[in-house]
Structure 1
């Protein structure tokens, strides 16, 4: 018995007379609309993938004005780190002028910085690096550095909750500013300030490749608790100016409120502490608010600014601090 040949594959129905072959609809979009899509996409990783699709995509992608780039934590127990990575982490101590934390992957960072060089029109840049803070009581922090502003503000709370009728009388004796709590939060503030300074050096390393177009830049942590920001061309210029150096010393103020109720957000903070640190030259006069009022502009960190507004209007500083930024 002879085997039957397999049936032929089904044929597509014949096209109508004059019908054009199917084309990718995205190719019909003008470059301006394609650029708008890439701008909304924003992620540097996704944009680099789009760059590989076609020559047209590549040409448009490189004009994207707003880019966000995220770096994951490096496993500090990973023993597979090769020699080039170890070498870069050694060299980065001199590049950034500050030693990178152990779980910062310097080789990955340098590779990403190099990949950004092909983007010719970056105006807004956002970088997210791993958070190295161990103090869980830190809620928010914000730092700005430049000629007119060298301030870092850190907000702590023992715990927080939304205000309800059932808990409006809750108080906790642990929210008192004891010597142990004071020393702990001052130490965490100094660590946060050093980390903010390190992030500023990292940001400078990126910004120098885009000084012609860049208007705003920020470098935040992966916990979304804080960031170092450059909001305008002047701050960008100060960041890149080798003559602008951060003063080696300064002062700070500490505010502590045992129970803080915020009317706008209806948030209740127990054991709320605000530490503001300002680097200054010797001839600069000390001010009561440490210069944080000039930072209190329209900003995404609504909770931090609401706390600062309430504290500056209703409370005097609990402590004054002398800061020697050169100490470790």
Structure 2
């Protein structure tokens, strides 16, 4: 029996194998690039020294903004912190900015809905400013203290500070909690703007209201199942803008939408300068919002243009100056899309700087306009450009 006994030393088991160590760095970087979100990547950093060293090398980064932190919130309580996060974006931007554009638009604030914080407030990365954009304490390196903000016992970082931890970003997406434009409920407003050192182009789609054509149950009412007299009247027009559009404030409201969207876009562009200057590897930058209201896009050529050619700042506020513009407008009193969605007072505005209009293809090109929006609004743009075109001009502001 004694011969069956073994020396206890021989019972020592080999160290367990960490199967992640078998994965090449290239595969781990592929996984991290699929994750993208800075919060999730921050959690990955604490898993191991290897992850901590690999995360700063990823090329695809998504920054989702949590909330706006105001220096006026001196109370350290968590209730104050939650209130600042859930308050929503207030847009006093237009009441402040539009006063200095042109006198006919001084009454623009009348058309604006509930107030939200301005884009300059939400994207301000200076810790001493009245308010700062909060991303949360999530970076690959925990020793970055510059730009941190304390609120309710929680440390927050501005996007500029968080992104400094990444060395090889190529594709960057920043998402705000919501759009800047305070508009009444039921109103549709979407815009997309491309910038270099200044505005390259902008497309705006708006509608006074959006309704849904209810499926008609009456036999023989139509092969598509929709009742032609349900929700809207069948309007057989020639594509012209009706006279009432000018007399009932319709045109004035569209001018407000256009100016407001341009100001929001130029303010976003101005405040992206530090990120663009620091990350020279960028190929694409998108700044959008959770509401899908507005999208600012920059490709590699446009990013490089901004680095070598200083932008012109507006004297009215911290935003890029909007150059003199040529605009084309299409309007439909009622626009029914194939899926039954009806846009009432549908308006499409295509904008380019006046100096570019002669050298670049016409803004009426449907392929350029329809790709600016996701469906079903891309289809709406295609339908609108088939209607009569109206040309407008706007001075620099």
1:306 maps to which residue?
379
**Residue 220 (structure 1) aligned with residue 288 (structure 2):** yes
**CA distance in structure 2 between the aligned counterparts of 1:76 and 1:181, rounded to whole angstroms:** 37
**CA distance in structure 1 between the aligned counterparts of 2:198 and 2:275, rounded to whole angstroms:** 22
Residue aligned with 2:34, SS: helix
**CA distance in structure 2 between the aligned counterparts of 1:80 and 1:291, rounded to whole angstroms:** 52
Which of 273, 283, 290 lines up with 2:347 in the alignment?
Answer: 273
TM-score with structure 2 setting the length: 0.62
CA-based RMSD of the aligned residues comes to 3.5
CA pair 271-220 structure 1, distance change in 2 beyond 3 A: same
1:316 maps to which residue?
388
**CA distance in structure 2 between the aligned counterparts of 1:267 and 1:288, rounded to whole angstroms:** 31
CA pair 148-195 structure 1, distance change in 2 beyond 3 A: closer
1:195 maps to which residue?
264
2:66 maps to which residue?
72
Aligned residues: 289
CA pair 203-171 structure 1, distance change in 2 beyond 3 A: same
**CA distance in structure 2 between the aligned counterparts of 1:234 and 1:156, rounded to whole angstroms:** 29
**CA distance in structure 2 between the aligned counterparts of 1:293 and 1:222, rounded to whole angstroms:** 26
Deviation at 1:31, TM superposition (A): 1.8
Deviation at 1:48, TM superposition (A): 2.6
Provide structure 2 residue ranges, at least 5 long, that are not aligned to the other structure. 1-7, 77-117, 134-146, 148-157, 217-226, 236-241, 313-320
The 5 Å alignment of 1:72-221 reads 72-74=66-68, 78-80=72-74, 100-104=119-123, 106=125, 107=127, 108-109=132-133, 111-129=158-176, 130-136=178-184, 137-146=187-196, 150-166=200-216, 168-169=228-229, 170-171=231-232, 177=245, 178-211=247-280, 213-221=281-289
Deviation at 1:209, TM superposition (A): 1.2
CA pair 168-322 structure 1, distance change in 2 beyond 3 A: same
Q: Give yes or no for contact 1:146–1:238 (8 Å, CA) kept in 2.
A: yes
Deviation at 1:102, TM superposition (A): 4.0
TM-score with structure 1 setting the length: 0.74
- Say which is worse superposed, 102-111 or 27-36, in terms of deviation: 102-111
- Say which is worse superposed, 148-157 or 195-204, in terms of deviation: 148-157
Deviation at 1:311, TM superposition (A): 1.3
**CA distance in structure 2 between the aligned counterparts of 1:287 and 1:33, rounded to whole angstroms:** 42
**Residue 229 (structure 1) aligned with residue 290 (structure 2):** no
Q: Give yes or no for contact 2:36–2:60 (8 Å, CA) kept in 1.
A: yes
Deviation at 1:162, TM superposition (A): 4.4
1:257 maps to which residue?
332
Deviation at 1:286, TM superposition (A): 10
The 5 Å alignment of 1:1-12 reads none
Residue aligned with 1:133, SS: coil
Deviation at 1:68, TM superposition (A): 0.5
**CA distance in structure 2 between the aligned counterparts of 1:47 and 1:187, rounded to whole angstroms:** 41
**CA distance in structure 1 between the aligned counterparts of 2:122 and 2:164, rounded to whole angstroms:** 25
1:248 maps to which residue?
323
CA pair 286-117 structure 1, distance change in 2 beyond 3 A: closer
**Residue 57 (structure 1) aligned with residue 131 (structure 2):** no
Q: Give yes or no for contact 1:35–1:61 (8 Å, CA) kept in 2.
A: yes
Deviations 1:143-176 (A, max 9, x none): 1123897221111122224444335422279x96
CA pair 76-272 structure 1, distance change in 2 beyond 3 A: farther
1:89 maps to which residue?
none
Deviation at 1:47, TM superposition (A): 1.5
